[in-house]
Amino acid sequence: MVAKKDVVMFVEKKHSAALKAVKEEYMSAVKAEEGRIASESGVVACAHRIERALCKVHQEHAVFADRVGESAEMSYSNDYRTLGAQLNRLGSVEEGTIKCINFENGVLTKLEKMHNEVTRGVNANYAAVLEEVKNKTNAKRAIAYLKEIGFDVSELEQMEHTEIATKLDTRYLFVGGNKDA
């Protein structure tokens, strides 16, 4: 049996999923535009050259570390270990540099405005749907309303037709064989 709170939770879950989809679409569009700008400006090619140079530095550091480690007369200080750890954490220079750049252009501004507008629309519409669901007298009417406006309510309908069946041993219900007592 479906309760109205189950229908409310269903709508809230759909709302969260819609917001997540809007955010992912926006972030994908932003990343593509920033990648285009970075690529056209030559930043990506420069980042690749920096990454190749850092790979050489990392290789030289590994040789250096081996030589120090093989010597009985030398050892690392904590500062040097920190340098090695920092070299290992550098990761992709392209990704790191693009994250550090502040991009500003008309396309990104339009994407942000459109994202904000769509987010407001999603929030407003889901608030209206949620209010309407809460105003329905029971879960069945709330489900019918959701179905009417286009929601796939098969998840709720499945819950509605699933009763919790508990196997009962009637010997313990009617102890002594007296069902009327």
pLDDT per residue over 56-106, tens digit each?
887 888 888 888 878 888 777 766 666 666 666 666 777 777 778 888 899
Question: Residues of the chain whose pLDDT is less than 70?
Answer: 78-91, 160-181
DSSP track, 28-54: HHHHHHHHHHHHHHTHHHHHHHHHHHH
Identify the pLDDT of residue 165: 47
Number of Cα atoms under 13 Å in the Cβ half of residue 107: 11
Assigned token pair, 43: 């930043």
- Helix and strand counts by DSSP (H, E) for the chain: 7, 0
How many Cα atoms within 13 Å fall on the side-chain side of residue 65?
14
pTM here?
Answer: 0.67
Contact of 49 with 94, CB cutoff 8 Å: no
